[in-house]
Chains A and B, each alone.
Chain A
Amino acid sequence: MSDAVAPMLLLTDIDEPGLNTREVYERRGGYESMRTALKMTPEDVLAQLEASQLRGRGGAGFAMGTKISFLPKGAIDKYLVCNADESEPGTFKDRELMQKTPHTLIEGIVIASYAAGASRSFIYIRGEYVQQADALDAALAEARAAGYIGEDILGSGHSLTLVVHRGAGAYICGEETGLLDSLEGKRGNPRLKPPFPANQGLYQGPTLINNVETLSTVPTIIRIGGEEYAKIGVERSTGTKLVSVSGHVRRPGNYEIELGIPAREIIYGLAGGPAEGRSVKCWFPGGSSSPVLTADDLDINYDFDSLAKARTMLGSGAIIVVDDSTPILDVALKVAKFYRHESCGKCTPCREGTNWTVKMLERIEIGEATPMDLEIMASVQEHIMGNCLCVLGDAMAMPISSLISKFRGEFEQHIEAARERRGLAPSAVDGDGALAAQGAI
């Protein structure tokens, strides 16, 4: 770890007793940013958010200010939806924020809705987060009683309703249009885009959708100013980010980092790295949907652009570390099975592609596969990517493709070892295998 301690913007004294109550939150300066913002014009608030260059923390990394500016102007019903359906495997940062400092999120929602001109807002929280939803409901009741949510907030003329909406267990509802369908009381099937939610979202109205961490950062931006915020981090990846580190590390958990520090500092410096005698085999930099990186990539800087350059992504900021004791086939199977289970079934490439990928991986496991299966599996991934309404299929295709290309040798070893266990001849003398080796298939 470098000597300079990263600025703490989101996790400051987050374990202070009672921070989840309005009393303690306000004693610490809470809701001051809201008061400041409501005295500004919505355009000025938006200008601050744009100046901060804050990029969405949910996974896609889209600039928040730009997203707000896409909403049509004028006196129409607009909606703000906070995406709290944190289901990306490895991600648990929003959980910490909502449980321990729910008022930060509510304050962020009031400010963002003011900038966007939205008069109705919803927090769509995954159903499994019972305690976090209870914390939000309690905080919301306090905020309502104080007049921070309701008609004509603090005499500003801005009115806002807020409802905490609990999901019921479906990964796909974290996809923004799947979330909207679910919030409308339907099955959480994603929609065709365009139209994008900024034009036609919830109840066909213009809708701003942002992640919990993004909205929780808004009060800080108003407090210190957009330009000051943009000085933190690196160019095009401004600010601090919560990273959830899990898997084979000694100190798994949430850490707040300044964007742009080397990944090694997070995995080894903060999270303690793998156990004694173990080394990193591969790691997911942004949830299980991101293409994997290997131990050679530990010196990549952890920010949006550096990870994109390494052909992976920062995603939700969830680092999953896998050490050398784990067979790569197990990792691939876990990932593929998850996406098979969570595919909503609407688009054929995703529904069938996830299913057949699992079946091919299982063929490897039981010793029925030949190296040709790896080719077919890789081509299945190519046919999923970009061919569905949403990116759930891509979210499996990206890690699986990267696992096949980076650990091809190990997959082939698995294939041969499993064939041997089954008493089959090595794949090279097997019909299919021989044909594949000649390039005939």
Chain B
Amino acid sequence: MSVRRYAHGSRVPGWDRPADLEKDPALIPDPESTDVPPALREEIEAHMANYPDRRSAALPALEAAQRVHGWCSPEALEQVACVMRVTPAYLDSVATFYDMLENSPAGRHSVYVCTNISCSLRGADELCDEMMRAAEADPDIDVRGFECLGACDIAPMASVDGIYVGPLELSDVPTLLEDVRAERPVLPDKQLGRMLVADPHANSREYPLHAPAPAQKGRGA
């Protein structure tokens, strides 16, 4: 699997797919005929209540729907659109803009390998290739090269379902993937949550490593 980039330089997938001119534009889905899982509806409504304008809830709502459906599928968009009272097309325009919202079916686990400059100076490109190769046959795990994840202090690093781990060696790849498959904490000794700040003057006393291993967050319902 190659790094998902759009050759023409924008972040709009499917720009070269022809529009279906026979199809009527989708309207705001009818609540009578749209089946929305009650928990999802509740979560979206809670988000909408946070903002003066309900549209602000688009990102958290899509994220919630993606957790249920695995990706921003037409069905997921329809359900969010129904609760938010916007058109599915509006949500599609939003969903296609952001890297973390999936526009095609995705695996239950996502591994983002940072391939930006600081990580690549420390071997991230080889790491990303190796990770992709090792996870190639596993439909449950999506490995992607990702832009700077904001953890250059543990370069080269990866974000495994939101948990940052690093610095990674090529030899960590099999263990990391095994941990993901077994749904246990990923490389507990390399998790960012346990790292102390680098500045030697920051801490006046020696503190023990304190952060407990964070709970795993699996995708999917």
Which residue numbers of A lie inside 8 Å of B, CB to CB? 5-6, 8, 11-18, 77, 86-92, 94-96, 99-100, 120, 126-131, 163, 165-171, 182-188, 203, 244-248, 251-256, 270-271, 288, 318, 320, 322, 326, 330-331, 334-335, 337-338, 340-345, 351-352, 354-355, 358
Closest to A10 in B: B202
Q: With the chains together, A214 CA to B205 CA distance in Å?
A: 26
Tell me if B198 and A251 are in contact (CB < 8 A).
yes
A123 smallest CB distance to B (angstroms): 12
Tell me if B117 and A14 are in contact (CB < 8 A).
no
Tell me if A87 and B98 are in contact (CB < 8 A).
no
Given contact pairs A91-B150, A92-B152, A252-B155, enumerate 16 new A-B contacts (beta carbons under 8 Å): A12-B202, A14-B202, A17-B208, A89-B116, A128-B112, A166-B59, A166-B63, A169-B98, A169-B101, A184-B55, A186-B55, A187-B93, A203-B53, A247-B118, A322-B121, A338-B147
From B147, B196, B202, contact of A342 by CB (8 A): B147
Sample (30) of A-B pairs whose CB atoms are under 8 Å apart? A8-B202, A14-B197, A14-B202, A16-B203, A77-B52, A87-B150, A89-B148, A91-B148, A91-B152, A92-B151, A92-B152, A95-B150, A126-B150, A128-B159, A163-B51, A165-B59, A168-B62, A168-B100, A169-B98, A184-B53, A185-B54, A185-B55, A185-B57, A244-B153, A252-B153, A254-B199, A334-B116, A344-B11, A345-B10, A355-B8
Q: With the chains together, A92 CA to B122 CA distance in Å?
A: 16
B214 within 8 A of A: yes
Q: With the chains together, A347 CA to B5 CA distance in Å?
A: 19
B113 within 8 A of A: no
Question: Contacts A14-B203, A90-B117, A351-B9; is A186 near B152 (CB within 8 Å)?
Answer: no
Q: With the chains together, A326 CA to B125 CA distance in Å?
A: 14
Question: Contacts A326-B121, A338-B148; is A17 near B100 (CB within 8 Å)?
Answer: no
Identify which of residues 185-221 in chain B touch chain A, using a CB-to-CB cut-off of 8 Å.
192-193, 196-205, 207-208, 210, 214, 217
Tell me if A320 and B98 are in contact (CB < 8 A).
no
Tell me if A345 and B12 are in contact (CB < 8 A).
yes
- Which residues of B sit under 8 angstroms from A341, Cβ to Cβ? 5, 11, 147
B188 smallest CB distance to A (angstroms): 14
Identify which of residues 159-176 in chain B touch chain A, using a CB-to-CB cut-off of 8 Å.
159, 162-164
Tell me if A255 and B121 are in contact (CB < 8 A).
no
Which residue numbers of B lie inside 8 Å of A, CB to CB? 5, 8-12, 50-60, 62-63, 93-94, 97-101, 112, 116-118, 120-122, 146-153, 155, 159, 162-164, 192-193, 196-205, 207-208, 210, 214, 217
Closest to A284 in B: B117
- Which of A16, A187, A352 has the most B CB atoms < 10 Å from its CB? A187
- Which residues of A sit under 8 angstroms from B99, Cβ to Cβ? 168-170
B7 smallest CB distance to A (angstroms): 9
- Which residues of A sit under 8 angstroms from B94, Cβ to Cβ? 185-187
Question: Contacts A13-B205, A182-B59, A322-B121; is A246 near B9 (CB within 8 Å)?
Answer: no
Closest to A246 in B: B152
Tell me if A354 and B148 are in contact (CB < 8 A).
no
- Which residues of A sit under 8 angstroms from B204, Cβ to Cβ? 12-13
Q: With the chains together, A341 CA to B144 CA distance in Å?
A: 14
A251 smallest CB distance to B (angstroms): 6
How many A-B contacts if CB must be within 8 Å? 215
- Which of B55, B117, B192, B217 has the most A CB atoms < 10 Å from its CB? B117
Tell me if A185 and B56 are in contact (CB < 8 A).
yes
- Which residues of B sit under 8 angstroms from A13, Cβ to Cβ? 202-205, 207
Closest to B118 in A: A246
Q: With the chains together, A185 CA to B81 CA distance in Å?
A: 13
Tell me if B53 and A187 are in contact (CB < 8 A).
no
From B52, B149, B197, contact of A96 by CB (8 A): B197
Q: With the chains together, A206 CA to B199 CA distance in Å?
A: 38
- Which residues of B sit under 8 angstroms from A5, Cβ to Cβ? 201
Closest to A87 in B: B148
Q: With the chains together, A12 CA to B200 CA distance in Å?
A: 11
B45 smallest CB distance to A (angstroms): 15
- Which residues of A sit under 8 angstroms from B200, Cβ to Cβ? 270
Q: With the chains together, A40 CA to B163 CA distance in Å?
A: 42
Tell me if A130 and B162 are in contact (CB < 8 A).
yes
Tell me if B56 and A127 are in contact (CB < 8 A).
no
A289 smallest CB distance to B (angstroms): 11
- Which residues of B sit under 8 angstroms from A169, Cβ to Cβ? 98-101
Tell me if A165 and B60 are in contact (CB < 8 A).
yes
Tell me if A248 and B147 are in contact (CB < 8 A).
no
Q: With the chains together, A25 CA to B67 CA distance in Å?
A: 33
B134 smallest CB distance to A (angstroms): 22
The 10 closest A-B pairs by CB, nearest first: A253-B198, A355-B9, A130-B162, A169-B99, A246-B152, A185-B58, A168-B98, A185-B55, A169-B100, A345-B10
Closest to B119 in A: A246
- Which residues of A sit under 8 angstroms from B162, Cβ to Cβ? 128, 130-131
- Which residues of A sit under 8 angstroms from B8, Cβ to Cβ? 355
A306 smallest CB distance to B (angstroms): 22
Tell me if B59 and A168 are in contact (CB < 8 A).
yes
